[in-house]
Each structure stands twice: as C-alpha cells, then as structure tokens.
Amino acid sequence: MKVNAYGAYSGDRFLEPLQITRRDTGPDDVQISIDYCGVCHSDIHQVRAEWEGTQFPCVPGHEIVGRVSGVGTNVTKYQVGDLVGVGCIVDSCQHCDECDSDLENYCDNMVGTYNFPTQDEPGWTQGGYSQKIVVHERYVLRISHPEAQLPAVAPLLCAGITTYSPLRHWNVGPGKKVGIVGIGGLGHMGVKLAHAMGAHVVAFSTSESKRNTAKVLGADEVVVSTNADQMAAHAKTFDLIINTVAAPHNLDAYLTLLKRDGTLTLVGAPATPHPSPEVFNLIFKRRSITGSMIGGIKETQEMLDFCAEHDIVSDIELIRADEINTAYERLLKSDVKYRFVIDNSTLSATSLIQGKYL
C-alpha cells in the first residue's frame, strides 16, 4: 500500500512530500491511520544525518497517534476504530532477557520506528510523518484520553515515557525531592509527571523567563542554573535529578545537589561527551550518574493510563505537514512551547496540492 508522507532524500535537503510503501497487514499486525505525530529532536538528528547511518529517503516520527484501520486474523487486543499510539519501538527479538522482562527498549535487536533495518520495503523503517503505519500488535498502545486531546497525547509516546520511566525506576513519590534540568519537550513532561506522582519538584532552567511557566507546569520551585547562590541553596538535598539537556555541560553542578545515595539520570544525549565529573563528588555521598532510554511497551502503556487518569497531556503547537521545515528551525532555537505536533490530515493529496490547511 502506498501512502503519502513527508521526508528527506538526503541530509542536506529540506523535507518534502513523498510516497512510501506500507506492508500488507499480517496475522499479528495492526494497521493504523495516523491522525497526529509529534516532532522530536531525534527526528532532526536522524533526518539531517547528524547521527550516523541515516538511510534515505528518511521519514521520521515516533510519537504516533491515530485510529485502527485494520487488524490481522490473530489480533485480539484491538478493533477497527480504536484510538491507539505507537512510540519509538515497532519490533524486537521477543525472546531475550530484556524482552521477557518487558524491557524491549533495551533489547539488542530492538527495531526503532524509523531508520532501523526491516524486511519491509525499502529495507529500513519509516516513521509517523505519514498517513498510515502497520505494526505488530505487541508494540501498539491503547489510548484512553478523550478524543479531543489526541494531538496533545502524541508527545507522551517519546517525551512522556522518557521521563516517566526513570521517575518510576527511582521510586519517585511523596516525600521525594526531584529536579528536572531543562524545561523543553522532555523537561516539561518530567515536571508534570513528577508533580502528579506527588514529589517536591524543582525545575532548573538557564532562563529566568521560564520561572512562571515552570510553576504552571507543576514545579514547586524554579532555580536559574547560572545563579550560583540559587544552586548552592539546594546543595545535598535531592533524591533524583533528571537531566534532559543534550548539550555537553558540567555535571558536577548537579551532582553536588544530590544527597547521600542520590541519582543523576541523563536522558539527553550530547553529540560530544560531557566533561568528566569530579570523582570525589561521587565517592563522598555514594552518588550515582546513570542513563535511561525511553521505556518498555508495558511501562509505556502504564504511563499512558497514568496520564489519562491524571489528565496529563503535552503542551503543543499543532502544525501542517508543510510547515515542518520551519518548525525544525524554531525547535533548534527552543522557540516552541513545548512540542510541535503534525496534523497528519494535511498529508492528504488535496491538502498537499493546495498547500493549505484543510
């Protein structure tokens, strides 16, 4: 099946309309008509070949929400018309330790939603900037938010689970003090989720201008990270700090804010390494620096259900598919509150020809 999509033919070209092929719906597959797809910073890295091994044409997008438009004969969990999502994972080996532990995100043979090898045409996966996708039932998530919230649910599939998973793994809840570094696409979700879990939440931003918005998101306190006095006032007090910043920076500034046995978790991936932390800052208080990558399918479903129950969605700006290149430029300048989401109905033939929002 041919479907309309938006993607790039090489790393130095703008994204443009193109057609891609989706496989026939196999016995275990769910075919999804995509309504909305979030725009993640990873999309830009991949499509611009800033990360190695980009296959072209590249169609990014791993924050996918839509409606089931077909199911295979073995599918029991979903029916045509159901509201569903697909995140960063569309396949894995299904028999290793990680897969058996519901941690497909750490499977050595995890297949990402775009730019991973697949038997499907053209030989690598292509993502959610497209009209339809066909995914094995195991990797499809159920959405129970009200339908009107669907566009703002999309970013939960990457930004949401990337922050939810470490918050859960390190047992965040009432009585815990949690820091979120960087109030962007990931960080704004981290603040909302940690707040809903009952923690005392401190947002770190380089910009004083984020103070009010971070409080609206659910931060109890806001610290301007370039202000030494404000930072020092929080020394040795945090149980967990989640760092979403993807640019290399001095981690000691945050390590020293952790109390004994506290943890600094990195979820942003810089293209070049952070400067090495001072080992004494780890030794003295038995502190840890860790990383965390998205979440498994079971936990992603748990996150979606938690968000539906607590009325949590992402703060978004809805765009047409043909606005994607402008959106990338704005995202690179952090000029978005806090996530762009594509309205995939603008990928219809009429919409693309007329170049306007229908």
Near Zn ion by CB under 5 A: residue from 3, 99, 183, 251: 99
Binding residues for Zn ion, rule CB under 5 A, total 8
Q: Are 180 and 194 in contact (CB under 8 A)?
A: yes
Closest CA to 347 of 9, 85, 33, 21: 33
Work out the end-to-end distance of the chain between its first and last CA atoms, rounded to an integer number of angstroms. 24
Residues 23-62 close enough to bind Zn ion by CB under 5 A: 40, 42
Evaluated on CA atoms 166, 60, 24, 147, the torsion sign reads positive
Stretch binding Zn ion (CB under 5 A), from 95-103, 111-119, 124-132, 188-196 = 95-103
Of the candidate residues 96, 224, 293, 352, the single one contacting Zn ion (CB under 5 A): 96
Measured from the CB atom, is 110 or 181 closer to Zn ion? 110
Interface with Zn ion by CB under 5 A: which range of 90-98, 131-139, 173-181, 330-338? 90-98
| Per-residue exposure over 337-352, b if at least 16 CB sit within 10 Å of its own CB, e if not | ebbbbbbbbbbeeebb
31 or 113: CB nearest Zn ion: 113
Interface stretch with Zn ion, choices 100-108, 172-180, 315-323, 340-348 (CB under 5 A):
100-108
Return the HEC string of 260-296: EEEEEEECCCCCCCCCCCCHHHHHCCCCEEEECCCCC
What region does 94 belong to: left with phi over 0, alpha with psi -120 to 50, or beta?
left
Comparing CB distances to Zn ion, the nearer of 96 and 282 is: 96
> Is 113 one of the binding residues for Zn ion (CB under 5 A)?
no
CB of 300 to Zn ion, least distance (A): 12
Nearest distance in Å: CB 352, Zn ion? 25
* CB of residue 103 to Zn ion, shortest distance in Å: 9
In the complex, the smallest distance separating the C-beta of residue 132 from Zn ion, rounded to whole angstroms, is 20
> Which segment (94-102, 141-149, 182-190, 218-226) binds Zn ion by CB under 5 A?
94-102
Min dist. Cβ of residue 159 to Zn ion (A): 7
Please report how close the Cβ of residue 315 comes to Zn ion at its closest, in angstroms. 16
User: Locate tokens 């748990």: which residue?
Assistant: 302
How far, in whole angstroms, is CA 93 from its chain's centroid?
22
Q: Is 318 a residue that touches Zn ion (CB under 5 A)?
A: no
Q: Which is nearer to Zn ion, 96 or 318 (CB)?
A: 96
Residue 107 C-beta: closest distance to Zn ion, Å: 3
Supply φ then ψ for residue 19, to 5 degrees.
Answer: -115, 140
| 92 lines the binding site for Zn ion (CB under 5 A) | yes
93 touches Zn ion by CB under 5 A: yes
User: 72-80 long-range CB contacts below 8 Å, 24 or more apart?
Assistant: 72/25, 72/26, 72/27, 72/28, 72/29, 72/30, 72/137, 73/27, 74/27, 74/28, 74/137, 75/27, 75/28, 75/29, 75/30, 75/137, 76/137, 77/137, 77/140, 77/142, 78/30, 78/137, 78/140, 78/142
Would you count residue 158 as binding Zn ion (CB under 5 A)? yes
From CA 221, how far away is CA 200, in angstroms rounded? 8
Rg (CA), the chain: 20
Stretch that binds Zn ion, among 154-162, 227-235, 282-290, 295-303 (CB under 5 A): 154-162
Q: Among residues 143 and 199, whose Cβ is nearest to Zn ion?
A: 143
- 3-class secondary structure, 349: helix
The smaller minimum CB distance to Zn ion, of residues 156 and 321, is found at 156
Q: How far is the CB of 158 from Zn ion (least distance, A)?
A: 3
Sites of contact with Zn ion (CB under 5 A): 40, 42, 92-93, 96, 99, 107, 158
